[in-house]
Amino acid sequence: MRFLSDNTGTVAPEILDALTEANHGLVTAYGSDPWTQRLDDCLSAYFGTAVRAFAVATGTAANSLSLATLTPSYGLIFAHEEAHIANDEAGAPGFFTGGAQLSLLQSPDGKLTRDVLATALDTQRVSVHTLQPKALALSQATELGTSYRPDELRGLCTLAHEHGLKVQMDGARFANSVAFLDCHPGDVTWRAGVDVMTFGATKNGALAAEAVVIFDRRLAAEFGFRRKRAGHLFSKMRFLSAQLDAYLADDLWLKNARHANAMARRLGEGLARIPGVSLAHPVEANEVFVGLPEAALRGLAGDGFQFHPWQAEDRLLARLVTAFNTREADVDAFIASARRHAGAAKERVA
């Protein structure tokens, strides 16, 4: 009964099976195996354009290696103040780039807007005494469970490019956004102007696998050098690539994301109907941020539900994350428990 995160769960059976299936025969190490060899093709087909794809095992590696490929050590990277790279990766972008920094921007629901970026670009003092603006980092889905629409991304990327910035996208929950938007993966990436993205699988059923997808293929060689040098090139690479292979095969990515999204939507709708309970952000992926009386939060915890408290500017929220294997019964139990505890809290107030 955990809604802590989508990285606390198990591996999707299809992906575990793929590991077993890959476990025969001798192949050349470090990527000269059939699974890795077809990775570019698989992801090119997926995105509808020729890409270079590199498998790594963690989201932090994927984000930092791609940012280091896009920005020099003296670079400034614009990002939302809620971004994972800003809050949960121990300063990894600074380590991988040799000291580049983030400029954090505020806007509602975890989504940067063209206006917010425009203001930042206009007011950012730039001289030889400052870092040099070099990249824009976006997350799809965002850290607050919302999703950029294609035209929102196009606006941001166009503005970024006009100012000489490259655009990176953290797609740790990319499948959830595509499932929510019901769009083509290309619509919210290269067609909108994204230069490099991380295509996450771990949170949506893989054991540990993310693909860095390079739309601007001139950057590919450098990325490869950086990956190796940072210890992120696996010798038995087939076991990374096979995960991604299975993740893309038979639209497993979409099936898993749709389920997780459906559970989040059910959770959000159920909670929103409880008097005194409100959602902090629209539910546009597999996360629900909900405001509950503190007594209700304690009550839910007492009932054995697990979730992260989330400190918003003005109130404490509960962050609830669903996954490819979240059960409807657990969602309904959570809602029932919340309703009971919220009601009790209200009575006490009355």
Footprint (CB under 8 A) of a second copy, residues 106-125 = 125
The least distance separating a second copy from the CB of residue 35, rounded to whole angstroms, comes to: 13
Tell how strand 166-171 and strand 132-139 pair up.
parallel
For the four alpha carbons of 282, 283, 288 and 291, in that order, the dihedral sign comes to positive
Taking CB under 8 A as the criterion, which residues in 173-202 touch a second copy?
202
Q: Binding of a second copy at residue 128 (CB under 8 A)?
A: yes
User: Of residues 101, 107, 113, 124, which one binds a second copy by CB under 8 A?
Assistant: 101
Contacting range for a second copy; rule: CB under 8 A; set: 50-58, 114-122, 137-145, 275-283: 50-58
Say whether residue 218 binds a second copy (CB under 8 A).
no
Name which position in 18, 65, 77, 165 contacts a second copy (CB under 8 A): 65
Nearer to a second copy, 3 or 180 (CB): 3
Q: Tell me which H or E stretch contains 296.
A: helix 294-302
Q: How far is CA 274 from CA 91, 267, 306, in A?
A: 39, 11, 20
Q: Binding of a second copy at residue 340 (CB under 8 A)?
A: no
Judge whether 137 and 168 are in contact, CB under 8 Å: yes
| Smallest gap from residue 213 Cβ to a second copy (A) | 17
Q: Which of 161, 157, 82, 45 is nearest to 149 (CA)?
A: 157
State which residue, 88 or 151, has the beta carbon closest to a second copy: 88
Instruction: Between 72 and 343, name the residue whose CB sits nearer to a second copy.
Output: 72
Query: Within its chain, how far is the Cα of 29 from the centroid?
Result: 29
> Is 100 within 8 Å of 93 (Cβ atoms)?
yes
State the DSSP H helix or E strand holding residue 84, giving kind and residue range, or none if neither.
helix 84-87
Cα separation, 311 vs 303, in Å, equals 22
Cβ at position 282, least distance to a second copy in Å: 25
Residue of 35, 39, 59, 280 that binds a second copy (CB under 8 A): 59
Nearer to a second copy, 54 or 190 (CB): 54
Question: How many residues of this chain interact with a second copy, rule: CB under 8 A?
Answer: 72
Structure letter (DSSP) for residue 203: G
Name the one range near a second copy by CB under 8 A: 36-44, 114-122, 222-230, 288-296: 222-230
Q: Which is nearer to a second copy, 147 or 322 (CB)?
A: 322
Cα–Cα distance, 148 to 146 (Å, whole number): 7
- Tell me the closest approach of the beta carbon of residue 283 to a second copy, in angstroms: 21
The interface with a second copy within residues 131-150 (CB under 8 A) comprises 131-132
Both tokens of residue 337? 């428990």
Question: Should residue 235 be labelled a site residue for a second copy when binding is judged by CB under 8 A?
Answer: yes
In the region spanning residues 14 to 33, those forming contacts with a second copy, defined by CB under 8 A, are 16, 19-20, 23-30
Instruction: Give the per-residue contact string, 66-95, with a second copy (x = CB under 8 A; - = no).
Output: ------xxx-x----------xxxxxx-xx
CB-side exposure of 78: number of CA atoms within 13 Å? 31
What is the DSSP annotation of 5-32?
-TTSS---HHHHHHHHHH-SS---GGG-
Alpha helices in 174-285 (DSSP H): 174-181, 220-229, 238-248, 252-272
Q: Which is nearer to a second copy, 190 or 310 (CB)?
A: 310
Taking the least distance from each CB to a second copy, the nearer of 68 and 342 is: 68
The minimum distance between CB 93 and a second copy, in angstroms, equals 8
